[in-house]
Structure 1
Amino acid sequence: MNNSRTFKPSGSSDANFYRFFDLLSLFTAFQLANFIYDIAFSTAYSVAALSITITYMYSAELVSAYRSWRAGKFRTMVLCAWGSLLIAFSFMFFISFMFKFTDNLSRVGLTIWFLLSLVLLFIWRLVVHLYKRNRRRLGMNLRNVAIVGATECAAYLYTEITKNEELGFKFSGFYDDRKPERTFEELSQHEVAGSIQSAIDASRAGDIDILYLALPLKAEKRIADILLQLGDTTVDVHLIPDFLLSNLIHARIEHVGNVDTLSVFESPIIGAQEFVKRTEDIIVSSLILLLISPLLIFIAAAVKFTSAGPVIFKQDRYGLDGRKIKVWKFRSMTVTENSAVVTQATKNDARITKLGAILRRTSLDELPQFINVLKGDMSIVGPRPHAVAHNEEYRQKVDFYMIRHKAKPGITGWAQINGWRGETDTLDKMEKRVEFDLHYIKHWSLMLDIKIIFLTIFKGFKNANAY
């Protein structure tokens, strides 16, 4: 008999339900647009419809529109659907322009189709949302859940359960054998409902529908014993990964033949996601370089005529997977340090030129990095690249520091728009920057990149901590 995989990919018929009604909404919207504006169906419209459908479904999967549907916020689900629809229609217009069949499409008809699709995608989700919410308020379709282990990851899980009504969960309590003083500090205000054995007994009695095991991974024998006892119950059992694995590191199940492996140090931006991010970088950087080319020429001339030295300063940095790259910047100092020891710029630093001070405060010195993005060394959004000397220093001091190199360095990033930009004169500042960088890598999505780019326009270029 062949060995089967230990882990199976999770699936949900409800997710397929959402996919079906999304496709039905697009088709219905097209038929309504045809009825309202009398669109003459042709080969061009067949190509347009096929392009929109495929791109919409691909984009929806990319932004996880159908993942964990029960836990999804209604607003988030709607925004994911609308964002995917906008991408689909934008791509369709791009294809029609490239292959020169825009004249065969009615702009008014397509606009009606787009607007009706927006409405239908919203309406059917609203109807389902209200139906399920009302059923749960009536006490129907609720599931009793409990957590074994008053640990840090249990506290995080409890927070998610209480703030997401869409889950349809009724929390029954924490179960732990340890004394109150040994449980996680933030759960001290919650009275433990009973021992672990009482949770098992409640499961046998049918009082618990879902039981989460939030014990440390080192308690392997204890977990095995609990699972053995739960084997004669009908309760749904879920193992919660150790807080360190689930919160700090991106993890996924991989397979080598029939052997399952758990990757913990791996970028989520692989495969199709890598293609999407690279496409995003090429399109955005090309447009920006085209728009700012006069500004680049002006700044280059200003740097050349106000101080001696090269216009562009190319500094060694670590790129994707820790490989060295040359990051381009307009020179803002009288020196070009690129050695094993690099002194960070500080307030009133004598090495900074007068023009350089303006460029650094407004981040204009970093504009040549859009060329790095076009070359493929960097990304529009990602962890900011540090000097090699700083990397070697902080990798010894900050846990998981080098994991930030599992994504391409970016011109802007999650840490920057949250205020962690500029001089890192204390270890705490660098730890916070790394914390935000790891959050970005773990939760990367196209929508998150768009959000960061949008926020950068308003608050990411200028910062009081940039010297």
Structure 2
Amino acid sequence: MTAAPRHVRDAAAPAPAAHPPRETRPSALPSSPLPPASVREHRTAEPNFTAEERVTGWTRLSRFGIGPLLLALDLVAVGGALVVAEWIGREVGEDSPFRKTAAFAVVFLLAMGQAGLYRSRLALSVLDDLPALVGRWGLAAGVAVIGQIVWSNALWRDYIIDWRFLAGAAGVGVVVIVFRAAGYAMVRRLRSRRLVAHRTLIVGAGRVGHQVADILREHPEYGLHPIGFLDGDPRVMSGPSRLPVLGGPAALPAVLEGGRVNNVVVAFSTMKESEMVRLIRTCDRFRCELFVVPRLFELHQVDGEMDTAWGLPLVRLRRSTYRSRTWRMKRLFDIAFAGGALFVLAPLMLLLALAVRLDGGPGVFFRQERVGVDGRTFEVLKFRSLRPAGGEAATTWNIADDPRLSRFGRILRKTSFDELPQLINILRGDMSVVGPRPERPHFVEEFRNVYPSYEARHRVPSGLTGWAQIHGLRGDTSIADRARFDNYYIENWSLWLDVKIILRTVGSVVRGAGG
């Protein structure tokens, strides 16, 4: 039997016994990782909600977010301001610079979106938004002026002082601010009357959890209606909250799966932080918002990216990458990239296939079972680097000293050219261009029992390259470090991060840094 890799032998935990392959549930790609056993056991015991906890009559308008409302108000404000400016210009006999003002308005709206002025927030205040609005107004005005100069090839002196444009742009800005103030007042009123009320669970029934519940019940203008606690060892406290304890923290996935909760506030609980992180990661595909009360919140400085509820800072966790709009572009990017790469690299791949055939005889491709998203297995394709003599064992960690590894096979692995057939896996949807590298089932079973955060890598499709690989974490390197880097990639994913990883991967291939 082949020994486990160095980083598994050196782990503090004893080597786990062999486990049979676990069943994987079919789901649309991508879906949430399989939760730990403690969580799965609670799926059959979903808490019962009383009529007060359901608040069905109060949440009919909650499905409409603040972002679409603000965008609609801004569009009406901008459109109305442009029409009024054009009408005033005609009344006074002046030609209104309509095109330049319209271009300014478009840039202004885009800049406000980039500044996060359409994101959902608990505390709504135009005065809080005013610095960002004024800054984006100046940016849009500058872009419109410069664009008009370049477009018309005019002299600077003709556009440095254009009072008609400045008046129109100022009017747009003022109307946007007025409409936003009215929109915020309307949202606060709807929340206060419980016409917009998001059902909220509080994880942690200690002093801080009860403080959160009291604030949310006494101040409905934040739009969060607490319905209960989740805590394995709750404190019995008196006060206006007096909400029921609906179970332990491990019941959170079951509660969210029922679709009766819109928001979760994680206060302090007796659950270990490492276990809480793992629990939250199993729930990050459900359509709910997650807030965390920061440690030492009394000393925490509140910035523009945080929410507050009656002086209590709340960190809104970033929406899971799979729920973002740009995530849908990732698959399109994968198809375009893999298809283009196969077209460009087809001559090279044909030469490599011929060389593999001459070096080791029949059998150009090597096929091996790997674990991908949600623990589902698939067959990965590689150019064969070992001479055919039984194939690479499913429990062999490193084949660097394998006598079947030919000189040409070492070159393939050093340049990472043996991975090129995985472009076909990407087109088939088994993998993505960028993501955690897939591993064999035998080692997944070992690693997931030794390293608690390892299984969280399977939240997204596996990749041809990844954040861990470009940092040298491949081959016989720390599995704990790999899991940490892969989870960092998942939590901080963006299209630009994918592009950066691809560029650094190309640099590594050019330098021959594979292995």
1:12–1:325 distance in 2 versus 1, CA, 3 Å: closer
Query: Is 2:278 aligned against 1:249?
Result: no
Q: After superposition, where does 1:18-417 map in structure 2 within 5 Å?
A: 31-32=99-100, 66-67=118-119, 218=231, 221-222=234-235, 228=241, 239-240=265-266, 243-244=273-274, 245-246=276-277, 249=281, 251-252=283-284, 254=286, 268-269=321-322, 275-335=328-388, 337=391, 339-346=393-400, 348-417=401-470
- 1:363/1:462 contact within 8 Å kept: no
Maintained 8 Å contact 1:253/1:261: no
Between the aligned partners of 1:438 and 1:298, the Cα distance in structure 2 is 37
Give yes or no for contact 1:345–1:423 (8 Å, CA) kept in 2. Answer: no
8 A Cα contact 1:420 1:432, kept in partner: yes
Structure 1 residue 289, shift from structure 2 partner = 1.0
Instruction: Give the equivalent residue in structure 1 for 2:499.
Output: 450
Change over 3 Å in CA distance of 1:460–1:302 after alignment to 2: closer
Q: 2:484 aligns with which of 429, 435, 439?
A: 435
Unaligned runs of 5+ in 2: 1-50, 83-95, 122-127, 141-146, 153-168, 174-205, 213-228, 243-263, 291-316
Deviation at 1:434, TM superposition (A): 1.2
Give distance in 2, aligned partners of 1:397 and 1:455. Answer: 30
Larger radius of gyration: 2
Separation in 2 of the partners of 1:352 and 1:341? 17
State the 1:419 CA deviation. Answer: 2.4
1:420 paired residue number: 473
Write out per-residue CA displacement over residues 132-172 of structure 1, whole angstroms, 9 at most, x where no aligned residue: xxxxxxxxxxxxxxxxxxxxxxxxxxxxxxxxxxxxxxxxx
3-state SS of the aligned residue for 2:473? Answer: coil
Contact in 1 for aligned 2:453/2:484 (Cα 8 Å): no
**1:249-291 deviation per Cα after TM superposition (whole angstroms, max 9, x unaligned):** 2644847xxxx898x9x97425855642221111111111111
Once residues 432 and 340 of structure 1 are traced to their aligned partners in structure 2, the CA distance between those partners, rounded to angstroms, is 23
SS at match of 1:328: strand
SS in structure 1 at match of 2:457: helix
Residue 386 of structure 2 contacts residue 409 of structure 2 at CA under 8 Å; is this kept in 1?
Answer: yes
Asked if 2 retains the 8 angstrom alpha-carbon contact of 1:361 and 1:462, the reply is no
Q: 1:272 to 1:239 in 2, by over 3 A?
A: closer
Aligned-pair distance for 1:350? 3.0
- Per the TM alignment, residue 332 of structure 1 is displaced from its structure 2 partner at its CA by 1.1
SS of residue paired to 1:411: strand
Distance 1:431 1:253 in 2: 24
Deviation of the 1:369 alpha carbon: 0.6
- Unpaired segments of 5 or more residues in structure 1? 36-51, 83-107, 114-123, 129-175, 178-194, 200-215, 230-237
- Matched to 1:406, the amino acid is R
Q: Following TM superposition, by how much is the alpha carbon of 1:379 offset from its aligned partner in structure 2, in angstroms? A: 0.7
Identify the range of structure 1 (442-451 vs 315-324) with the bigger mean alpha-carbon deviation: 442-451
Tell me, in whole angstroms, the C-alpha distance in 1 between the residues paired with 2:67 and 2:289. 23
- Structure with bigger RCO (C-alpha 8 Å, 6+ apart): 2
SS of the aligned residue for 1:325 comes to: strand
- Give the deviation of 1:226 after TM superposition: 8.0
Displacement after TM superposition at 1:304 (Å): 1.4
SS of 2:449's equivalent in the other structure is coil
Partners of 2:285 and 2:423 in 1: how far apart? 35
SS in 2 for 1:396: helix
Give, in whole Å, the separation in 1 of the partners of 2:488 and 2:417. Answer: 26
Q: 1:18 to 1:384 in 2, by over 3 A?
A: farther
Q: Partners in 2 of 1:455 and 1:398 — Cα distance?
A: 27
Alignment length, in residue pairs?
Answer: 313
The CA distance in 1 between the partners of 2:506 and 2:473, in whole Å, is 16
Instruction: Specify whether residues 274 and 301 from structure 1 end up closer, same or farther in structure 2 by C-alpha distance, changes over 3 A only.
Output: same
Amino acid at match of 2:391: E
Superposed CA offset, 1:185-235 (max 9, x none): xxxxxxxxxx99999xxxxxxxxxxxxxxxx97587459668849xxxxxx
Give distance in 2, aligned partners of 1:21 and 1:461. 53
Is the contact made by 2:382 and 2:419 (CA closer than 8 Å) also made in structure 1?
yes
CA–CA distance in 2 between the matches of 1:357 and 1:112?
Answer: 57
Q: Is the 8 A contact 2:434 2:464 kept in 1?
A: yes
Q: 1:219 to 1:306 in 2, by over 3 A?
A: closer
Change (3 A) 1:452 1:241: farther
> What is the CA–CA distance in structure 1 between the aligned matches of 2:407 and 2:424, rounded to whole Å?
25
Please say if residues 412 and 460 of structure 1, whose CA atoms lie closer than 8 Å, have aligned partners that are also in contact.
no
Structure 2 match to 1:232: none
TM (norm. structure 1) is 0.50
Which range is displaced more, 430-439 or 454-463?
Answer: 454-463
Change (3 A) 1:246 1:323: closer
Deviation at 1:372, TM superposition (A): 0.8
Q: Percent identity?
A: 30
Residues 438 and 253 of structure 1, relative CA distance in 2, 3 Å threshold: closer
Q: Which amino acid aligns with 2:438?
A: P
Deviation of 1:341 after TM superposition, in Å, equals: 2.4
Residue type of the alignment partner of 1:31: R
Amino acid across the alignment from 2:420: L
Residue in structure 2 matching 1:3, options 28, 35, 55: 55
**Which protein has the bigger helix share?**
1
